[in-house]
Structure 1
Amino acid sequence: MDFDFSDDQQSLRDAVRRWVDKGYTFERRRSIVAAGGFDRTAYGELAELGLTALTVPEAHDGLGQGAIDAMVVMEELGRGMVLEPLAHAFIASSVLTQYASAELQGAWLPRIASGQALVVLAQQERKARYALEKCEAKAAPAQSGYALKATKSIVPAGDQADAYLVPAQLDGHIALFLVERSASGVSAQGYVTQDGSRAAEVQFANTPAILVSKDGLTALELAVDTGIAALCAEAVGVMDQAVALTVDYMNQRKQFGVTIASFQALRHRVADMKMQLELARSMSYYASLKLAAPAPERRTAMARAKVQLGQSMRYVGQQMVQLHGGIGVTDEYIGSHYFKKLTQMEMTFGDTLHHLGEVSSRMQDTAGVFA
């Protein structure tokens, strides 16, 4: 199997990296955090690069690219800890393409591709923990289609998004709906999260909703798995920069008249950081490659990837702080922001312990060791 990236993918990587290096500096990121954690102008710049259109089908003004291209993009955005939730453009395009009616696709996919519309997944509820099948939101038929009653938590850019993908109970089963933020009965309370990004608590009170799929749990699983694959790639980019930052610091910091990079014990710890990074990178590739697999295989693959990424993120983040010393946790230093980003990512779409349980529950008699 050829694991080399194509020339087009390398060009895509280079283009995104140049934008991150020149257009999304740490200073700009700090200003966005201070302004609330989301910048529509920055999201528009991602659209101008064609990134919001990346996985939208060509029939709907998209580029029609696949999971590997999305992985390349998210890895580069991770290097700059980009706050704007581009991954949700991939989630929305994937779910709408596979489950929505032709009319709904025509209405929303071109707007997602152009960056005109930010559609985010709003699935998290307070009592659900990370179990997708636990859903207290209710939907009922109404004159205009359906009416939704729900409260969703930690919705990315929830008070800035143009629409939401919302799971809710319909006739005893979970269905998936699209709800516009401008619809009646929608209220969103935004806030800045630990890593500086923006989220919101969103309430729907008899809100008009458009049905995406009555097989909502299956569609929701695809949405979350797409998000996990994107998050894994983004985490690799964050960790890659965290390791590079640590190595650079060790080559400058002196103790006893020599750089601390010359101390063998510390070199071993950096080697372990790099090992964890490469383990994470390989599992990120695995997750992206498995997005097109049948649902049971795909779900197992995402859980496995998230377990390894969670372990790697925790190790790399902690070692980065330890090897920097006190400066590693100061807000003025970029390293602390990498640490906060990794900490939040470990909890997103299910923490390590949750996914370890998912891996365990899906083990067969052979435990995946023997055919």
Structure 2
Amino acid sequence: MDFNFSDDQEQLRDAVRKWVDKGYDFERRRGIEAKGGFSREAWDELAELGLGGLYIAEDDGGLGMGPVAGMVVMEELGRGIVLEPFAQTLIAGAVLSGYANADTKDGWLPRIAGGQAIVVLAYQERKSRYRLDLCDAKAVKAGDGWSLTGAKSVVPVGDEADAYLVPAKVDGKIALFLVERSASGVEARGYGTQDGGRAAEVVFDKADATLVTADGLAALEYAVDVGIAATCAEAVGVMDKTVALTVDYMNQRKQFGVTISTFQALRHRVADMKMQLELARSMSYYATLKLNAPADERRQALARAKYQLGTSMRYVAANSVQLHGGIGVTDEYIGSHYFRKLTQLEMTFGDTLHHLGEVSARMQDTAGVFA
């Protein structure tokens, strides 16, 4: 299998890396965090790079570059611990492209591709934990449209988004709807998140909704799998930079008159961090390449990937802090922000223990040993 990136993908990586390095430095990030954790200006700059259309076909106003391009972008955004939730644009583009009718596509996909509309997935409920089949939100027919009632938690930039993708039950079966934030009956309460970003609790009280698909559980599973693949790629970028920061610090910090990078025991720990990073990178590739596989195969692959990424994130984050010492957890030092990001990413779209259970539940009798 060829794991080399195409010229277009490398050019895309270079463009995003240059923007992160020059346009999204640590001071700007801290300023955005202090102002609430989201910057529409930074979002518009991402849109100017054409990134909103990666998962959207050219006929719908996008670039049609697909999952590998999305992975490349998310890695680079991870290196800069960018607060704006670009993964949500990939999710919205993929789900609407795959499930929405022509009118909904025409109304939203060009705007998502151009960055004029932010559409986010609002699926988590208080009692559901990470299970996708548990849903209390309900929708009923209302004239030519739908009326949706329910509450969703930890919705990325929920008080800034233009619309939400919302699963809700119709006659006992989950369907997927699109609800505009400006619709009557929608209330969003925003707050800061652990990584410095922004989320919201969103309440829908008989809000006007547009049906995306009646096969909502399948669409929701696909949306979450796209999110997992994006999260894995972002985590690789975060870990890559975390390891580099740790090595740089060890080459400067002195103890007993010599740099601590000369201590063999500490060098071994850095080698183990690098090993976990490369394991994570390979599983991120695996996750991305499985996004277009049949649903059962895709779900199993994404659970495997998220389990390995969670394990690697915990290891790299913890050892980075330990090798730094006290400075590793101070807010003034950038390394602590990478630690916080990894801590949150480990729990995004299902934590490590959840996905270990998913892998176990999806094993066949042979557990893949003799298959």
- TM-score range normalised by the length of the shorter chain: over 0.9
Normalising by the residue count of structure 2, what TM-score does the alignment of the two structures yield? 1.00
Equivalences for residues 239-278 of structure 1 within 5 A: 239-278=239-278
The residue type paired with residue 210 of structure 2 is I
- Give a deviation string over 1:139-189, Cα, whole Å, max 9, x none: 011024110001000000000000000000001100000000000000000
Alpha-carbon offset, residue 370 of structure 1: 1.4
What does residue 79 of structure 1 align with?
79
What does residue 148 of structure 1 align with?
148
Task: Give the Cα–Cα distance (whole angstroms) in 2 for the partners of residues 119 and 102 of structure 1.
Answer: 17
What does residue 19 of structure 1 align with?
19
Task: Give the Cα–Cα distance (whole angstroms) in 1 for the partners of residues 59 and 88 of structure 2.
Answer: 20
Task: Give the Cα–Cα distance (whole angstroms) in 2 for the partners of residues 108 and 341 of structure 1.
Answer: 30
The residue type paired with residue 315 of structure 1 is Y
Alpha-carbon offset, residue 20 of structure 1: 0.1
Task: Give the Cα–Cα distance (whole angstroms) in 2 for the partners of residues 61 and 167 of structure 1.
Answer: 26
Equivalences for residues 166-185 of structure 1 within 5 A: 166-185=166-185
How many residues end up aligned between the 2 structures?
371
Runs of 4+ in 1 over 2 A off after TM superposition: none
Partners of 1:61 and 1:113 within 8 A in 2: yes
**Identical columns (%):** 74
Alpha-carbon offset, residue 7 of structure 1: 0.9
Task: Give the Cα–Cα distance (whole angstroms) in 2 for the partners of residues 53 and 115 of structure 1.
Answer: 9
Alpha-carbon offset, residue 135 of structure 1: 0.3
The residue type paired with residue 253 of structure 2 is R
Task: Give the Cα–Cα distance (whole angstroms) in 1 for the partners of residues 60 and 138 of structure 2.
Answer: 31
The residue type paired with residue 313 of structure 2 is M
Partners of 1:250 and 1:259 within 8 A in 2: yes
The residue type paired with residue 157 of structure 1 is V
Task: Give the Cα–Cα distance (whole angstroms) in 1 for the partners of residues 37 and 153 of structure 2.
Answer: 17
Normalising by the residue count of structure 1, what TM-score does the alignment of the two structures yield? 1.00
SS of the residue corresponding to residue 301 of structure 2 reads helix
Task: Give the Cα–Cα distance (whole angstroms) in 1 for the partners of residues 207 and 260 of structure 2.
Answer: 59
Task: Give the Cα–Cα distance (whole angstroms) in 2 for the partners of residues 226 and 146 of structure 1.
Answer: 26
Alpha-carbon offset, residue 85 of structure 1: 0.9
Task: Give the Cα–Cα distance (whole angstroms) in 2 for the partners of residues 53 and 363 of structure 1.
Answer: 36
Partners of 1:144 and 1:208 within 8 A in 2: no
Task: Give the Cα–Cα distance (whole angstroms) in 1 for the partners of residues 307 and 368 of structure 2.
Answer: 16
Task: Give the Cα–Cα distance (whole angstroms) in 2 for the partners of residues 172 and 124 of structure 1.
Answer: 18
What does residue 118 of structure 2 align with?
118
SS of the residue corresponding to residue 199 of structure 1 reads strand
Task: Give the Cα–Cα distance (whole angstroms) in 2 for the partners of residues 237 and 201 of structure 1.
Answer: 28
Task: Give the Cα–Cα distance (whole angstroms) in 1 for the partners of residues 54 and 177 of structure 2.
Answer: 23
Task: Give the Cα–Cα distance (whole angstroms) in 1 for the partners of residues 370 and 331 of structure 2.
Answer: 49
List runs of 5+ in structure 1 lacking aligned partners.
none
SS of the residue corresponding to residue 291 of structure 1 reads coil
Task: Give the Cα–Cα distance (whole angstroms) in 1 for the partners of residues 144 and 319 of structure 2.
Answer: 55
The residue type paired with residue 83 of structure 2 is L
The residue type paired with residue 40 of structure 1 is R
What does residue 314 of structure 1 align with?
314
Alignment of 1:362 with 2:362, yes or no, is yes
What does residue 66 of structure 2 align with?
66
Equivalences for residues 93-104 of structure 1 within 5 A: 93-104=93-104
SS of the residue corresponding to residue 269 of structure 2 reads helix
Over aligned residues, Cα RMSD in angstroms?
0.5
